[in-house]
Amino acid sequence: MTFGLIWAHHPQDQESLLVELSTLIGSQEVPIHVRNQIAGNLYLMIKAKGVVKFLLVEAVDCQNTLKHVFSILTESCLQTFTSASTALSELQMHCAHILISLMSLNNRKYHIPGETSEKAKLRQKALDQGILAVLLNVHLNSQNEQLRQFLAEEFLERLEE
């Protein structure tokens, strides 16, 4: 059964599904390439506004759901990166994509009337959950230069909009 079918037909399981995916991403027992695939798929799911709205507004405990994503990014501040850690760097990039998507930043390419107020509400919920603080901390303190550059380009430049 695909994610879309589970999401549509089992609304009571939506939060537990997101918690389980986040837990798998943070698990050291799961191989890193599998964690990367799960994080990439979670990012694709979060690109849907309905999932963002559910996670930030309707979910009982957003911080618990995202704690593994937060921890992977904050660990980047403590680790020294080598060429051998490209899989871990990729996982951190996926986690950054997830959190940036949750921030509901405006797209510079086009403006759709009526979406501005809804995006502003979602952005405020994301701020309340500490997503901005985590992303800023990672940008300032991460040892992963590629991650820092990505956050500067994709997050900080769009933050003022």
Which residues 6+ apart lie within 8 Å of 109 measured at CB? none
Provide the pLDDT for residue 1. 42
pLDDT at 156 over 80: yes
pLDDT at 45 over 80: yes
Distances (CA, A) of 155 to 51, 84, 104: 20, 26, 11
Question: What confidence tier does 161 reach under pLDDT thresholds 50, 70, 90?
Answer: low
Question: What confidence tier does 31 reach under pLDDT thresholds 50, 70, 90?
Answer: very high
CA distance linking residue 144 with residue 136, whole number of Å: 14
pLDDT at 113 over 70: no
Please give the residue that has the higher pLDDT: either 62 or 11. Answer: 62
Q: 43 lies in which domain range?
A: 3-159
User: How large is the C-alpha radius of gyration of the chain?
Assistant: 16
For the full predicted model, state whether its pTM sits above 0.85.
no
CA distance linking residue 103 with residue 118, whole number of Å: 12
The most confident of the ranges 29-38, 55-64, 85-94, 129-138 is 29-38
pLDDT at 47 over 70: yes
Q: Count structural domains, the chain.
A: 1
Q: Which of 41, 62, 66 is nearest to 53 (CA)?
A: 62
